[in-house]
Each structure stands twice: as C-alpha cells, then as structure tokens.
Amino acid sequence: MSWIAWTLVIAFVPVLLVLAALSSPLRLRGRLDEQGPAGGVGWLGVDVDLGVPPGAGTRTIDVRLLRVRLLRRPMPAASDDQASDDQASDDQARGEKPKRRRRRGRPRLSLGSWRVLVRTALREARRSVRAIRVERLMLDAVVASDDPALTGELFGYGCALVSAARGRWPGAELHLDFDFEGDRPRGRAELAIRVRPIRLVGSAARVAWVFRRERRRSARAA
C-alpha cells in the first residue's frame, strides 16, 4: 500500500502548494506624479517595482526577494512593437514586402452574446471589489483646462467621485481643487491595494466559462 500513499502525496502536494500560494495576499501599488506613472507588485515575498527610484534619472525595474535586492535594470527604451514597425519600414524602403502572419479564423461573438458576457463581467466585478482591500488611496489634484466652462464641469464630476470614494473608503486622503487660469491639470495620486487571488478565481472562472459558451453559441449560429 506504500505506493498508493506516495501517489497520493505526489498528487496532492502540488495542489496544496498552489492553494497556499493563491491564499497569500497579493499587493498592487501605483503612483502618478510629475515624473510619470510608476507601480509595483508584491507576492510571496517577491516585490517588483517599475518607475524612477530616488536619485535615478531613468526608469528602472527593481526586483527584491524578502526586501533583498536581486537586480535593478533600466527599462528598455523601445518596445517590441516599435521594433517590428521599424523593421517593416526598413523592408518597405528596400522594396521588400513585409511578411504577414496567418491567423486562424475565430468566430465572433454576436450582439446577444456580448450582452450576456458584459452582464456577467460586471456582476463578477462587483463581487471581486468586495474582496479587494484598499491600503492607501491618495489624490491631490488640480483641475484645469483651456475652457473655464469645461473646467467647472470636470470639477463637479470630480467632486462627486471624491465624495463617493470617501464614503466607500473613509481613510482615503482626497483633495481636489480647480484653476480657471491654468490650461493643464496637475497633481499626484497613489493607490495601494491587497487581495488574495483565491477569492478571485471563482469570478474569473465564471467569466471564462460564459465566454467559451457564448463563443460556441455564436459559432453554431454563424
């Protein structure tokens, strides 16, 4: 019977490890200021930060394990899409036709299927919000534009959103002002949230199942 016991151990240990990982809190943080957007993610003792650290002039990728830095590298200046566009431009300059990748035809969702999918996604999104804990929410912004009427309208909408956010998260630090003489908005914002991924698995699975079902239904109707 020992081989049966070892088989069960080998089968269940990975499942238990996955469940333990999904039960661990996942932390997401973001910041927007005059230096541009920055953010990071932390899970299972690993923290990855993207942004401009103090004293650095370029954006970097910072990876830490249990608060011990493993690497810090500058972020690439150009993306793969930009490189592909540059390569296509070079091919056109040499008179060569760029190669096109063949894509398999996939059935498109019908309008009714889209409605079902959107309703499901919104319902599951409301459920998922309850599982998210906001650890920090800060906003210090000034609304401005080249049109004073538009500035006043945007400020009104912003005040409504700030009031709703304060009611939902009393500990949030939110301050909104307006400037009728300036023509560009300014300010800074920070957001840090914590969630256990296992609480989102059910919602993600239900949305994926509905999407697959509606895609099959649209394929049969086509």
Question: Per residue in 59-118, pLDDT tens?
Answer: 788 899 988 888 888 876 544 445 455 555 555 555 555 555 555 556 677 788 888 888
Q: At what angle do helices 2-23 and 198-221 cross, to 10 degrees?
A: 90
Residue 106: φ, ψ to 5°: -115, 140
Burial class (CB in 10 A: 0-12, 13-18, 19+), 206: middle
**Domain limits of the chain?**
24-77
Q: What is the mean pLDDT of the chain?
A: 82
Q: How many residues does the chain have?
A: 222
Residue 81: φ, ψ to 5°: -65, -40
Question: Per residue in 153-178, pLDDT tens?
Answer: 999 999 999 998 888 888 889 999 99
Q: What is the pLDDT of residue 96?
A: 53
CB atoms within 10 A of CB 43: 14
pTM of the model: 0.69
Least confident of 109-113, 128-132, 210-214: 109-113
